[in-house]
Structure 1
């Protein structure tokens, strides 16, 4: 990410919402106050901080993701996530177009 002025991160989101729900968070730094929503052993804010040391994370970060049906690793997408995928891809494409125009 070094040299980039923005980043788009796509991930599964650990939220108390129905599976397949798509959420988006805009995180403008240096005052990042990211919700604790990713499904990893560390917070998104912590990941940004660690990444910034090694990779000079951009000031403009957007997190876009979908709530999974289950938390266990799986080979295939659950039905709710698979159904949400076209909308998620569309939003990713929209954000990329917006970012290239700004």
Structure 2
């Protein structure tokens, strides 16, 4: 008899001790999914876009206040409109609000 057959035979005869079943993990009250909710991601993305857009507005338009009123008029802007748009809440788009106010100011009567 070969050694391999003898080992197979011995392994069959030797019984492995029965393992006790693993305890179940308790279900926790707080469950953290693999990905946050899409509504949360959308809200954070909207908030960040609004802040970045406001920062761009301030970077582009506030330096225009250093210029003379005639130069601002040549560019189609008004000092009061730029100051008004700079005081808007950060959630409101200052670019669009300034465009609307400029269109109302330039609208023929």
Q: Which structure has the highest helix share of the two?
A: 2
Q: Report the structure number with the largest CA radius of gyration.
A: 2
Fold match, TM over 0.5?
no
TM range (shorter): under 0.3
Higher RCO (CA 8 Å, separation ≥ 6 residues): 1
